[in-house]
Amino acid sequence: MSERVFGVLLLLLSAAGLVIGWDLRAPVSYEPVGPRAFPLLVFVLIGACALALVFFRRGPTRWAPPAVLGRVGGLFVVVLLYALLFDKLGFIVSTTLMCLPLARLFGASWKQALGAGACMGVALFILFDRVLDVALPAGQWLKPILG
Amino acid sequence: METITHLMEGFAVAGTPTNLAIAAIGAFLGTVIGLLPGLGPINGVAILLPIAYAMKLPPESALILLAAVYAGCEVGGRISAILINVPGDAGAVMTTMDGYPMARKGLAGPALSLSAFASFSGSMVAVVGIVLFAPLLAEWALAFGPAEYFALMVLALSCLGGLVGDSLVKAMVCVLLGLMLSTVGIDSNSGVYRYTFDLLHLADGIPFIVVVIGLFAVSELMLMLENAHSGAAPVSLSGRLMFNAQEFALAKWTMLRCSVTGFFVGVLPGAGASIASAMCYASERRMAGKDHCFGEGDPRGVAAPEAANNASAYGSLIPMLTLGVPGSGTTAVMIGALTLYNITPGPTLFQDQPVVVWGLIASLAIASVMLLAMNIPLIRVFVKFLAIPNWLLVPGVAAISLVGVYAVHGTTFDLILGTLLGGVGYLLRVMNFPMAPFILGFVLGDMMEQNLRRALSISNGELDILFSSPVSIGLWIGALAMLVGPRVAAALRSRHAGEPQPV
């Protein structure tokens, strides 16, 4: 069932890709194959595979139990928020905040989670930003303090 | 003769103190990543590539790091296989069959040291194989035109489609999704913006690192939450650490045979370490006749998959180095690393970038020696890493992955895109869609399109050119055979299902 739903989504994707791709034309062309041929070919093939997914019966997909799926969704949201706040809050603070719920999801106690978060934020910042020379965001509010 | 000169130059590159240190760090980190269940070579290479790039390592050093990590992962996977019966990576699945029983019998030390030695023998045989065959193949491929190239890439993609995963349609979908993502951005020939949705960040295309981290790091974390295994206590490592002469004598021919077989299986695009180790385990078991205890802790059962596993991992570097066409997910990531450094992969690599290619080959040999040296005396250190709890590991991997993505352009947009791709990757993986074809499609997409367009420019739009040379016809037939062959074989096998199966 899941695969059929996914097949329908792919079919929509392929249709959208074809509609958008149809208008991709070069103003001046020097070669026989323009910019739209390859993407259109890819989207036609995606459509064909989508039809195969919709119409051929396959084994059922084994989803995790709802409780676990909820936790997986939670993890995804935490990482997404981390991505959003990464350069606004700065690496140290955002990493600490990300660690806390993630460590809890994997069975840490509050104390362990907080400790892990704070240590990881500071240690990774020093490792990457200072030792390995990979520039990380310090965060708008920390700038005056760190210089 | 020329090869030996080049090889010496390669050792000169790999032997500089910096590169030696990088190889040692890579081998160590690789072993740790390999032994952690859930993280395998592709995750390790994917996570470390952006960091190597951000540290502004020169291309040969970055590749040496990635190759050492790759080699280390293949060696490290056996540790968790033997001690907790959970393979650390896909290549070590067969190692659990006899490794864990050996550990239960109190022979964990010999199992670990014998498998380390088997890995070493596989690596060395494969390095010799690369030195012998890679330059020849590269020279032959120099004559390829765009039409042959296009056919070659179709062959590589169909090999993966035919061999990986449970269904051809699923592998095809993943290849096509990868190709689709590769078309995003300005078309370099005409300057047309394709599928950028007026987003400035998409004008240059989707960065390779964003796709890799999303598909292989973020989605992996979500799967780890799902498969959280109940941290089985490792078998304690007591008694002797070294294998004895008797065990070595029993396994020596096994190691040699499996090293050679593994190497050739690895050279085939698509057939990776897991296929090689399963094949070698089965054939060694069959060859052992009645006089064996395979499945109950036979030393040969540990040596066979580990030798094959390493040899095939190294062998899969051959299509990547000589043709520019990766044969596995991990080598696809390494091709991506080359393109980050504006190095065009392909048969000209041996001529244009001898330092990179031969430095990489030499460093594989050096890394293998280092891995052997680390994995026998330092085994107790590595075993300690098995105790890292997931609540520490997962946030760490998440943070390091996002650091890598951020290092490329320094934009939040890339971070969000990577996370969203991770979500999609998770859903695909739960539905058994293989990820390696996805990344291969993404890496090859641009090259495929360029070669197709170049070929058709030459012929002024006639499609005949794609099938005009004997080489390209051969490649097309190969591609078709790879797509159809496994299905036909499976159908024949199920028809003969009534007959007794050789195990």
- The stretch B333-340 carries a mean pLDDT of 85
Contacts 24+ apart (CB under 8 A), B150-153: B150/B448, B150/B451, B150/B452, B150/B455, B150/B466, B150/B472, B151/B466, B151/B471, B151/B472, B151/B475, B151/B476, B151/B479, B152/B323, B152/B325, B152/B475, B153/B325, B153/B444, B153/B447, B153/B448, B153/B451
Give the pLDDT confidence of B217-264 residue by residue, as tens digits.
Answer: 899 889 888 876 555 667 777 777 778 887 888 788 888 999 999 898
Give the residue carrying structure tokens 């641009």. B446
Residue B87, φ and ψ in degrees, nearest 5: -65, 135
* Residues listed for chain B: 503
**Are the C-beta atoms of residues A46 and B177 closer than 8 Å to each other?**
yes
Which pair of tokens denotes residue A40?
Answer: 């259109």
The span from the CA of B288 to the CA of B218, in Å, is 43
Return the pLDDT at B247: 80
**Are the C-beta atoms of residues B41 and B67 closer than 8 Å to each other?**
no
Q: In chain B, what are the domain boundaries? A: 2-493
Q: Which residues contact B353 (CB under 8 A, 6 or more apart)?
A: B59, B343
Above 90 in pLDDT, residue B83? no
Consecutive 10-residue averages of pLDDT for chain A (147 residues): 88 91 79 85 93 80 85 93 90 91 89 90 88 80 62
- The stretch B321-325 carries a mean pLDDT of 84
Is B195's CB within 8 Å of A6's CB?
Answer: no
Above 60 in pLDDT, residue B335? yes
Interface probe for A, chosen from B221, B224, B416 (most Cβ of A below 10 Å), is B221
Return the pLDDT at B235: 75
DSSP codes, A85-142: HHHHH-HHHHHHHHHHHHHHHTT--HHHHHHHHHHHHHHHHIIIIIIS-------TTT
Question: What is the nearest CA distance from A46 to chain B, expressed in angstroms?
Answer: 6
Q: Which residues contact B265 (CB under 8 A, 6 or more apart)?
A: B271, B275, B276, B279, B308, B312, B315
Average pLDDT over all residues of chain B? 85
DSSP letter at B194? Answer: E
Top-ranked range on mean pLDDT: pick from B118-127, B163-172, B397-406: B118-127
Return the pLDDT at B319: 87
- Interface size A-B, in CB pairs within 8 Å, comes to 189
* Residues listed for chain A: 147
Q: Which residues contact B25 (CB under 8 A, 6 or more apart)?
A: B65, B68
Return the pLDDT at B496: 62
> Which range is least confidently modeled, A27-36, B312-321, B331-340?
A27-36
Give the pLDDT confidence of B119-145 residue by residue, as tens digits.
Answer: 999 999 999 999 998 888 888 888 888
A86: nearest CA partner in chain B: B412
Return the pLDDT at B164: 60
Return the pLDDT at B229: 57
> Which range is least confidently modeled, A124-128, B36-40, B432-436?
B36-40
Q: Which residues contact B230 (CB under 8 A, 6 or more apart)?
A: none
B218 contacts on A by Cβ (under 8 Å): 79
Is A83's CB within 8 Å of B412's CB?
Answer: yes
The span from the CA of A111 to the CA of A108, in Å, is 8
Q: Which residues share a beta bridge with B186? A: B193
**Closest by Cα among B207, B209, B219 to B397:** B219
Residue B239, φ and ψ in degrees, nearest 5: 80, -165
What's the gap between Cα B277 and its chain centre?
A: 14
The span from the CA of B193 to the CA of B183, in Å, is 10
**Closest by Cα among B73, B31, B119, B24 to B329:** B73
What's the gap between Cα B454 and its chain centre?
A: 30
Q: Containing H/E element for A79?
A: helix A66-89
Interface probe for B, chosen from A102, A104, A129 (most Cβ of B below 10 Å), is A102
The span from the CA of B148 to the CA of B465, in Å, is 9
Return the pLDDT at B30: 92
**C-alpha torsion B443→B224→B231→B113, nearest 10:** 0
Is B180's CB within 8 Å of A2's CB?
Answer: no
Return the pLDDT at B119: 92
Return the pLDDT at B21: 93
Above 60 in pLDDT, residue B165? no
Residue A37, φ and ψ in degrees, nearest 5: -60, -50
**Are the C-beta atoms of residues B407 and B54 closer than 8 Å to each other?**
yes
| Phi-psi domain of B305 (left: phi exceeds 0; alpha: psi -120 through 50; beta: other) | alpha
Q: In chain A, what are the domain boundaries? A: 2-55, 66-146
Identify which has the larger pLDDT, A26 or B13: B13
**Are the C-beta atoms of residues B173 and B433 closer than 8 Å to each other?**
yes
Give the pLDDT confidence of B460-503 residue by residue, as tens digits.
Answer: 888 888 888 888 898 899 888 887 777 777 777 776 654 444 43
Return the pLDDT at B497: 53
Residues B46, B52, B54, B57: is their CA dihedral positive or negative? negative
Interface probe for A, chosen from B154, B411, B415 (most Cβ of A below 10 Å), is B415
Q: Mark A100-122 as b/e (b = at least 16 C-beta within 10 Å).
A: bbbbbbbebeeeebbebbbebbe
Q: What is the 3-state secondary structure (H, E, C) of B336-382?
A: HHHHHCCCCCCCCHHHHCHHHHHHHHHHHHHHHHHHHHHHCCCHHHH
The span from the CA of B421 to the CA of A80, in Å, is 11
- The one-letter code for the residue type at B405 is V
B173 contacts on A by Cβ (under 8 Å): 10, 46, 49-50, 53
